[in-house]
Amino acid sequence: MKNLRVIFMGTPDFSVPVLKMLLENTNVLLVVTQPDKKVGRKQEINFSPVKNVALEHNVPVFQPEKIRSDYTKILETPCDLIITCAYGQIIPDAVLNHPSLGAINVHASLLPKYRGGAPIHWALINGEEKTGVTIMYMASKMDAGDIISQKEYTILKEDNVLTLHEKLSNMGADLLLETLPSIINKTNKRIKQDESLVTFGFNIKREEEHLNFFDNGKNIINKIRGLNPWPLANATINDQEFKIIEAYFIKKENLEPCKVYEILKNAIGISCNDGIIYITKIKPFGKKVMNVLDYLNGANKEEIKNWRIS
């Protein structure tokens, strides 16, 4: 496969294992990634993880602001295959039609479930038992192309966004390596997606980060897991935002939701619709992330008992 001429398109950490696999096994001619960002108070320039890997391997990097109107560099690079993984922009048909073997995508769900930019988050938030990765042909419509191959993963109760992100990222690289020979030989499958089964995993909105303690405990725990470690679930306590990072649930009947039910040595128990959410790690407003054990060491427990939670 070393003669396979590839243009790779990706941006975040999730894309890195796929790019590294391609660098080892194919001829990566060009890497396309999102523009550099200014971060922090000093507004220092921050390269994407994909750009850093490309520069380490002396691969040319192209960073269009808007690829829909700025893609000449890609068309000037003859290639056999375009491979995308969490690139972050809608790619025009002129680019998708450029390579001789087509354009394919590595997506972190079992399509047609969870099309969109946050499939890992929503699989956890919605309490899915299984997820996985899909290798697919790209189409004009987002994540709607024909499926080439898939690999399934059983979600563990201790999984959160970070652990699932790492597992599916590596799984995607492995599955792509297994699938490439059939794409090159044109013997691969092309399975049409069943549009009646489509669900979406769009990027998380700010209001979707908020916890509702009138909900069932299982749903609350799933949301905490599905937003950890980014962007983090939150609750409003005494008119200030607290980030809720880790918690566990114990079922209990006949409680009034949204009240501090119990304060343990290492947890604060807040009642919900069908039990108690025991919060064990938080980020209070204006402070760093900490275990509740440490938070309680410097807190007034009587005030905590009277928290106004919304």
Q: Which of 163, 142, 145, 146 is nearest to 154 (CA)?
A: 163
Q: What angle do CA 22, 57, 97 make, to 5 degrees?
A: 45
Please give the radius of gyration of the chain, using alpha carbons only, rounded to the nearest integer. Answer: 22
What is the tally of helices (H) and strands (E) in the chain?
9, 15
Written as six digits, the tokens of 65 are 């602001």
Q: What is the DSSP letter of 256?
A: -
310 residues of the chain, pLDDT tens digit each: 999 999 999 999 999 999 999 999 999 999 999 999 887 777 888 999 999 999 999 999 999 999 999 999 999 999 999 999 999 999 999 999 999 999 999 999 999 999 999 999 999 999 999 999 999 999 999 999 999 999 999 999 999 999 999 999 999 999 999 999 999 999 999 999 999 999 999 999 999 999 999 999 999 999 999 999 999 999 999 999 999 999 999 999 999 999 999 999 999 999 999 999 999 999 999 999 999 999 999 899 999 999 999 9
DSSP calls for 117-136: S-HHHHHHHTT-SEEEEEEE
Domains and CATH numbers, the chain: 5-197 (3.40.50.170), 206-305 (3.10.25.10)
Strands 103-107 and 130-137: antiparallel
- Overall pTM > 0.85: yes
